[in-house]
Structure 1
Amino acid sequence: MAGSSHHILDRPTFDAPVKVLIVASPYYKEISDNQIAGAIAELEVAGATLDVVHVPGALEIPTAIGIAERMSNFDGYVALGCVIRGETTHYDTVCNDSSRAIQLLGLQGLCIGNGILTVENQKQAEVRADPKDQNKGGGAAAAALHLIALSRKWGRSATGVGFTNDILMAGNTDGNTTA
């Protein structure tokens, strides 16, 4: 829709340090470099510490995030890459599978800003990656920061929320749980 505007949420603030991993595919290096620059700028303004790792392509980004989640201590992740439509259906596979895997990781509770560009041509990618234009790298970093803020806001308290094994077992002396 011509002339439409986008609302950008205010940057969240944090009481405790935030540590973010940027996972980028430099398959299109100039695009990737711009995305990373935009993401780093956004994270630094928010006071986050960060690390950057590179993987071969967009399909490897969710795997790297999953490994980092199991083996490290990041609060959130920024997924950066670019898939440009080609002559085969490989474009559809890479777009759908990388997006689906990132979504599944997010549904497991990981805070991921998805900045994998899916575009028709190089020019579209350049505009979207440029930190002085659409800055999708910065947008993905902002999304990760917002999800981290929500996870901290809704974090489990020491007393527990909802149904826990202790609640289900209360008053039950035979060791069987009942709901």
Structure 2
Amino acid sequence: MAGAEKHYVMPRATFEAPVKLAIVISPYYRDIADNMLAGATAEIEASGGSYEVVEVPGALEIPTAIGIAERLSNFDGYVALGCVIRGETTHYETVCNDSSRALQMLGLQGLCIGNGILTVENRRQAEVRADPADQNKGGGAAAAALHLVALTRKWGSRRKGVGFVPDAEDYKLAGELKDNPTA
């Protein structure tokens, strides 16, 4: 049984300078969301960080809100929290796949995101995974975001904006030669 398995949990990330995260949450299942939020906020506070909570209607809106926040705010990282429970239609697959894919794309562009969107078969599975005293997936998502922020700070300075940003010397105008810009 998977619930009885033990897994390794990394030591809590530490920081020399303050960390601020945005927790973007869909409260579609309010009790599940509240439990995940409790786990996330406890983990952020334990690391000495601060946070702002942003609510959106559903899991599909979470990546969009994170993208907007990255362009218009000053967060170091993001925690995505929500819950998708399988229903009778294929909408479940669409929401699970698209929200996960969008978060992954933002992450590959350099955003520090902890994905805590539960994708479960039934309410009981969601309750177990959301419970801060049990699996604490909200806290796990916050810890993941914090570890990515720590890694980003370790490897270099933060660049603002989503996407590839080349070094200034990499910018070239059409028609210029690399070694002889006046030729």
* 1:128-143 matches, cutoff 5 A: 128-143=129-144
Q: Deviations over 1:4-50 (max 9, x none)?
A: 32000001100011000000000000000000000000000000010
Aligned partner of 2:154 in structure 1 is 153
- Separation in structure 2 between the aligned mates of residue 91 and residue 24 of structure 1, nearest angstrom: 18
TM-score (norm 2): 0.87
Runs of 4+ aligned structure 1 residues displaced above 4 Å come to none
Q: Deviations over 1:126-154 (max 9, x none)?
A: 00000000000000000000000011111
- Separation in structure 2 between the aligned mates of residue 175 and residue 118 of structure 1, nearest angstrom: 57
- Separation in structure 2 between the aligned mates of residue 107 and residue 167 of structure 1, nearest angstrom: 21
- Separation in structure 1 between the aligned mates of residue 182 and residue 59 of structure 2, nearest angstrom: 48
- Separation in structure 1 between the aligned mates of residue 124 and residue 56 of structure 2, nearest angstrom: 23
3-state SS of 2:99 partner: helix
Determine if the alignment matches structure 1 residue 166 to structure 2 residue 175: no
Q: Deviations over 1:32-70 (max 9, x none)?
A: 000000000000000001000100000000000000000
- Separation in structure 1 between the aligned mates of residue 16 and residue 70 of structure 2, nearest angstrom: 22
* 1:51-130 matches, cutoff 5 A: 51-130=52-131
3-state SS of 1:27 partner: coil
- Separation in structure 1 between the aligned mates of residue 68 and residue 94 of structure 2, nearest angstrom: 22
* 1:6-85 matches, cutoff 5 A: 6-85=7-86
- Separation in structure 1 between the aligned mates of residue 79 and residue 106 of structure 2, nearest angstrom: 12
3-state SS of 1:69 partner: helix
3-state SS of 2:126 partner: helix
Gap change, CA 1:175 and 1:18, over 3 Å in 2: farther
Matched to 1:166, the amino acid is: E
TM-score (norm 1): 0.89
3-state SS of 1:113 partner: strand
Q: Which runs of 5+ in 1 are unaligned?
A: 158-162
Q: Deviations over 1:69-112 (max 9, x none)?
A: 00000000000000000000000000000000000000000000
Gap change, CA 1:118 and 1:175, over 3 Å in 2: farther
Gap change, CA 1:168 and 1:50, over 3 Å in 2: closer
3-state SS of 2:181 partner: coil
Identity of aligned residues (%): 71
Q: Following TM superposition, by how much is the alpha carbon of 1:164 offset from its aligned partner in structure 2, in angstroms?
A: 4.5
Q: Following TM superposition, by how much is the alpha carbon of 1:166 offset from its aligned partner in structure 2, in angstroms?
A: 3.5
